[in-house]
Structure 1
Amino acid sequence: MKGVAVVFVVVLVVVSLAATPGEAVSCGELQSSLAPCLSYLTGGGEPSESCCGGLRSASGSIQSTQDRQTACYCMKSAASCTYNVPTDAAASLPGKCGVSVGMTISPNVDCSQIS
């Protein structure tokens, strides 16, 4: 009986940790929010309203230093490895959408130094 109680407590702790509000933003969440920007980032032109809305949403979910660093690492990885996004397109997106993201978007930025 004691073993069942311990397992029950462990399950409750794991579930509560998984549902903790305010946990760090994930790469999947960011990529989902910024998916509408892919055509602009890879093909140029002007970002769509859905792209800018996604950027606003992503920016709003980036609250802590950990969030900013995670976002930096995720976007650097996606931009350079997955989609080959031109540096100037990525850097200009926040300005074109009128959104402040609170960090420099560049393949040369040291994400560990973002505060």
Structure 2
Amino acid sequence: MKNVAIAVFVALAMVAFMVEPGQAIPCPQVESYLSPCVPYLTNGGTPTQACCTGVSNIQKNTPTVADRQGACQCIKDAASRLPKIDEAAATNLPTACNVKIGVPISKSINCKDVK
């Protein structure tokens, strides 16, 4: 099971390098950035450096409102697939990483409200 998770993570990370400048950030890239955060999002505690680097990468790759709204929807969709996500941990993730991401991490956000 661990090998499968690693293979999926590597595949998602490879997709991250296929994005052209000026393009909206694709969902597989958003998910690969946040995949190191899954333990924090489901168990709480302290996010890892890899998790916080992923959060920072989302911030860097979402300069426009449209980018942030798209990333928000990707995050919302991914979060809905994690039934044991801790909403408080998800909401607090950017603060815990000391990153002003501009994209809420939540299952229940209306992404059209993201500015």
TM range (shorter): 0.7 to 0.9
Long gaps (5+) in structure 1: 1-17
Cross-structure match for 1:22: 22
1:3-14 correspondence runs (5 A): none
Write the distance in 2 (CA, Å) between the matches of 1:77 and 1:108. 10
Deviations 1:55-90 (A, max 9, x none): 11111101111111111111111112x112121111
Cα offset, 1:19, TM superposition: 7.5
Cα offset, 1:20, TM superposition: 5.2
Write the distance in 2 (CA, Å) between the matches of 1:19 and 1:92. 28
Which structure's CA Rg is the greater one?
A: 1
TM-score using structure 1 length: 0.75
Q: Percent identity?
A: 38
Cα offset, 1:43, TM superposition: 1.3
- 4+ residue stretches of structure 1 with deviation over 6 A? none
Write the distance in 2 (CA, Å) between the matches of 1:112 and 1:42. 26
**1:102 matches 2:78:** no
Cross-structure match for 1:31: 31
Higher share of residues assigned helix: 1
Cα offset, 1:108, TM superposition: 3.2
Write the distance in 1 (CA, Å) between the matches of 2:38 and 2:64. 25
Aligned residues: 97
SS state at 1:50 partner: helix
Any conservation in 1 of the 2:30–2:58 contact (CA below 8 Å)? yes
Write the distance in 2 (CA, Å) between the matches of 1:57 and 1:70. 15
**1:111 matches 2:111:** yes
Cross-structure match for 1:83: 82
